Amino acid sequence: MELIGAIQQEDAGAEIEVLSSDQGSRQDIPLWVKKAGHELVKVEEGSEFDRYLVRKTH
């Protein structure tokens, strides 16, 4: 949810970091980033939350 809001507010080229403890995010974030044509730079899985770094490409 917050990732999409952040992507909409940032300029192309910006990198957005998402911290999520939501299990569904492991599937949803990579799926959406690919579908929308952005770039998933990094995923770090953690015990309390996962960290995703997404670059807005357009």
Partner 1 sequence: MKRIVVLGGGIGGTTVANRIQRLLAREIEQGQVQLEVVDRDGIHAYQPGYLMVVFDKMRAEETRQDEARLLHRSIRLVKAEVEKIDPAGKKLRLKGGQEVPYDLLVISTGSVLHPELSPGFAEGSHSFYDLDNALRLRDALRQFSGGKIVVTVAGMPYKCPVAPLEVTFMLDDYLRARGLREKSEIHYTYPIPRVFGIETVAPVMQRLMTERGIQTHTPFNVQKIDAAAKKLQGVEGDTLDYDLLVGIPPHRGADLLGASGLGDKGNWVPTDKFTLKAEGQSGIYVLGDATNIAISKAGSTADYEAETVAQAIAAEVRGVPPSARYEGRVYCWIMTGLAQATYIKFDYLHPPHPPAPSFAHYWNKMVYNRVYWDMTARAMF
Binding site for partner 1 (CB under 8 A): 1-2, 4-5, 8-10, 22-24, 27-28, 31-32, 35-37
Instruction: Count CA within 13 A, CB hemisphere, residue 34.
Output: 5
Least distance from partner 1 to the Cβ atom of residue 6, Å: 8
Q: Among 57, 55, 8, 53, which Cα is nearest to 20's?
A: 53
Minimum distance from residue 54 beta carbon to partner 1 (Å): 14
CB of 38 to partner 1, least distance (A): 10
